[in-house]
Every structure is written in structure tokens, then in C-alpha cells.
Structure 1
Amino acid sequence: MLISRIHHVAYRCRDARETVRWYEQHLGMRFMLAFSEDHVPSTGELDPYMHVFLDAGGGNVLAFFELPGQPPMGRDPNTPAWVQHLALEVDSLDTLLATRERLAAAGIEVVGPTDHTLFQSIYFFDPNGHRLELAANTATPDMLDELDRVKDAMLEEWALTRRAPQHARWLHEKNREEDQP
């Protein structure tokens, strides 16, 4: 494989300091470094920015750009808010639930936990409007083997029909049954 790992993932933010402090306070990330330029190194264009980097654990880095010379941030109006998100793994369901309580106590609206069978998740937004997901794995090796077995067939069926293949319906069947009257 050509890629050895993700070096960093970068998003835009409204306020670099606010963003760093929020991630430190609510997700325990360490502020690693910052740099700033008046000109974009790759293009040379004039566009002053602050670029901040946070340690997301396990060698993962989350970065943000504050761009004061650009129009206000927006979202792609053709993509639902639940689609674009950053999913971060936590070590256990206990950690997930404790974090949910801390976020809610801080006035942050949290959805979940949602049981995806392979993992349970909570969802919330950072101060920039980026949707975040925290996930605690609950998958068994047999579940992962079964998903590996059907992945190609699912992708091919989707490509032909643009309808949800049912090969892995079992992932959310329990949730559908619980929703029934």
C-alpha cells in the first residue's frame, strides 16, 4: 500500500482559540502546535490563516484553519447534516456513556447512544457546526467476518440498483424491532 497512515485531517473553524479550548475541555485533546502565514504555501495566494493541530490519540492529528479573510463558514446545502462527520473512537462503552453525561452537563446537545451492533455511538456538534461522533466498538470477530464476506456483493448490488442491499440487514434489525409498537 502506498499510504502508511493519515497524517492529519483538517477542517475550517470560526475561531482557532475557541476551537482549541473546546477540544481540550470536552474531548481531552492536547494542543500540539500552531502556525500562521499571510500567503498559502501551496498556491502563493494572499489569504492569512491560523492553522492549529490537536492530538486525537493513537498518532492521529485533527487540524483546523481559521480564515478571517474568507466569507463565513457554511455547509453543503445538498448534503444532510448527519452525513458529514468525524467519528472518533473511545476505549469502552463506559467511557462513551460518561462522556455523554459530561457533554450534556456542559450544555452540549447529544444524540444517542445509538446501537449500530458493531459499535455504539453518540453524536454532537463542535462550536463550528462540525458533527462529531464518538464510537465504542462492540463487534465480535464473527460479525466482522460476515461483513467482510458480503462487502463486494453489497457494493455491486448497490451500483446496479441504488437500493439498500439486505446482506447486512442484521446490523440494525434489533433497532427496527424495538421501534415497532
Structure 2
Amino acid sequence: MRKMQVQGVHHITLTGADRQSSIDFWEGVLGMPFIFDQPNLDNADEGHLYFDPGDGRLITIFTNETRKPVHDRTPTDPGCVHHLAFNVSMATHRQVVARLDARGIAHSGVKDRGFMDSIYFKDPLGLLIELATYKFEPPRGTSHAEVMIEAHRIRVARGDNAIGEEHLADAIEMIVERSQQSLSEDRGAKNPY
């Protein structure tokens, strides 16, 4: 038996309501360019809209003009999607609350998650959306995931409950020491004052 190694999310497809409300939310609220539109090749009664969430991958929406937006929370039963999280810059994240308030969209306010800050709100169909921003930049040539696994190991070794900024800073320092050479024999912390 062998694994089928994945290399990232190709796309996520959601069941939407009508075409225009889907465009209005995904492009008009979240700013995702509407990049193409075709019929749902498995159901001639539906459209299939494609949006770019900012990383070149795809969010796609099946639409049907007979479906209308509902505002109930989507199911959170086992096997159901709890929420979708999208990355935004810190500059954008700092504007999210005011911009949601200006539209009259209820939201959670900023939630400190230790390694990121998050804001939650529902789309017009009741799907929980998270806009998240990392509190750190990974060292050159590494990913957020690489920093996170190191921060996790540090957190566990220290017996801490959740990853915090100190774990992230220490993880980044460890990654830099491993990946970048120095002429110094002793790279430990010093006090030049």
C-alpha cells in the first residue's frame, strides 16, 4: 500500500445560491477576482464560477438561479466544513472590522490565536469565513508551516498550552541558525552594552 502525496489545495468548490449573489460576495466583499464562468459539467441546471483567492488556486461556486441566499449557519456535523480561512495582510486585517461594520456584517472582532489574529463572519449562505493574518514572517526560503512545526515542538517541550509569540520567535531563531551560515564560532546571545 502506498500514499498518494498531495502538494497543496487545487481548488475548493462550494454550493452557492444564484450567480449574482455569489459574485457579489466572493469578488465584491472578499476581493477575489472572478476569473471564469462555465456550466457545471455534471449538472446542466447549474453554473460554475471560478474565483482566485490570491494565491493562484481556485475557489469555485456551483450556482443555480432557483436557489436564494439563506442566513442560517451551515451544518457543523462530523464531515461538514466548519469554516474557510483566508490569509490577509496585517494592513488589511487591521481594516476588516471597520469594513465589515460599514456593511452591517456581524463578526467576532479580532481573536488572538497566539500565532495569528483572526476575524470570523458568515457569508450570505451561513458558511463561517475567517480572515487571518500571521503574526510572523518565516525566514527566507522557509514556509509558515516550517516555523509552526518548530514552534509546536518548543511549546510541547516547555509544557505550554498553545503556541505563542515567544515560541514563534525562538523557532525562527533556530531555523535561521540551521539554515544560514556565520563566520562566528559562538552565535549565542550577547550583551554589547
Q: Of residues 58, 74, 97 in structure 1, which corresponds to 2:94?
A: 97
User: Which segment is superposed worse, 104-113 or 16-25?
Assistant: 16-25
Return the offset for 1:100.
2.1
Return the offset for 1:118.
0.5
Tell me the secondary structure at the aligned position of residue 27 of structure 2: helix
User: Which segment is superposed worse, 24-33 or 132-141?
Assistant: 132-141
Q: What's the counterpart of residue 84 of structure 2?
A: 86
* Aligned equivalents of 2:31, 2:104: Cα separation in 1: 17
Where in structure 2 are there 5+ consecutive unaligned residues? Answer: 139-146, 165-193
Which aligned pairs between 1:26-41 and structure 2 lie closer than 5 A?
A: 26-37=29-40, 40=42
The superposition leaves residues 129-161 of structure 1 with CA deviations (integer Å, 9 ceiling, x where unpaired) of 11100001014777651314678x9xxxxxxxx
1:169 aligns with 2:167: no
Q: What's the counterpart of residue 10 of structure 2?
A: 7
Where in structure 1 are there 5+ consecutive unaligned residues? Answer: 41-45, 154-165, 173-181
Letter in 1 for 2:151: E
Return the offset for 1:170.
3.6
* 2:9/2:57 contact within 8 Å kept: yes
* 2:22/2:63 contact within 8 Å kept: no
* 2:109/2:119 contact within 8 Å kept: yes
Return the offset for 1:60.
2.2
* 2:18/2:66 contact within 8 Å kept: no
* Aligned equivalents of 2:85, 2:94: Cα separation in 1: 16
* Aligned equivalents of 2:24, 2:152: Cα separation in 1: 39
1:134 aligns with 2:137: no
Return the offset for 1:2.
3.0
Letter in 2 for 1:107: G
Q: What's the counterpart of residue 110 of structure 1?
A: 107
| CA distance 1:19–1:4, shift in 2 (3 Å) | same
The superposition leaves residues 14-56 of structure 1 with CA deviations (integer Å, 9 ceiling, x where unpaired) of 122111122222111110111115x61xxxxx66211101110
Superposition misfits of 4+ residues, deviation over 4 angstroms: 67-70, 139-144, 148-151
* Aligned equivalents of 1:140, 1:58: Cα separation in 2: 17
* Aligned equivalents of 2:66, 2:30: Cα separation in 1: 29
Which structure has the bigger radius of gyration? 2
Name whichever structure is richer in strand by fraction.
1
TM-score normalised by structure 1 residue count: 0.68
* 2:123/2:129 contact within 8 Å kept: yes
The superposition leaves residues 96-129 of structure 1 with CA deviations (integer Å, 9 ceiling, x where unpaired) of 1202211111111111200001000000111111
